[in-house]
Structure 1
Amino acid sequence: MEILRIIISILIPPLGAFLKVGLGLQFWINLLLTLLGYFPGLVHVIWLLSRR
């Protein structure tokens, strides 16, 4: 499941954040970062996945 979550996170960072933390604050931060640019959202979701 973790490999699938990583692949989804690379393709669609907010979906990866949602799968990790649900509709919490980190999801909304990731959505905003992704809207501002794909790379900041990607970095944030990688940080989320490696944090726990």
Structure 2
Amino acid sequence: MEVVTILCLILITLFLPPLGVLFIAGCGADFLINICLTILGYLPGHIHAFYLMYVFYERREAALAGILPAEDAPGVYSERVNTGGMRGYETVYSQRDESL
């Protein structure tokens, strides 16, 4: 079932990159950045949207395997994308900051 979800998300992102980012990251900094990139040029908006999708699904697979990433992905400001959409899951970097 997840394959169908990913394919639908890819199709949506091909036509409207900000809408794909909205579904992945929610309404936040990544969404606003993608709107600006899409306005400046359609290709930069696509690159940013597909990068966020890649990070989201890579982090989701890592979370399901029980692996904590060392730090947040570069250029990603959404906690949802950095954690792969998993609740109660953080990066090692954010856990280290809370202990200080």
Query: TM-score under structure 1 normalisation?
Result: 0.95
Compare CA radii of gyration and give the structure with the larger one. 2
1:5 and 1:19 mapped to 2: Cα distance? 8
Instruction: Give the superposed CA RMSD.
Output: 0.5
**Superposed counterparts of 1:10-29, under 5 Å:** 10-29=14-33
Aligned length: 52
- Work out the CA distance in 2 between the residues paired with 1:10 and 1:28: 18
Runs of 4+ aligned structure 1 residues displaced above 3 Å come to: none
User: Are residue 34 (structure 1) and residue 35 (structure 2) matched?
Assistant: no
Identity over the aligned pairs, expressed in percent?
Answer: 38
> Any gaps of 5 or more consecutive residues in structure 1?
none
**Higher helix proportion (structure 1 or 2):** 1
Aligned partner of residue 46 in structure 1, secondary structure: helix
Shift of 1:28: 0.3
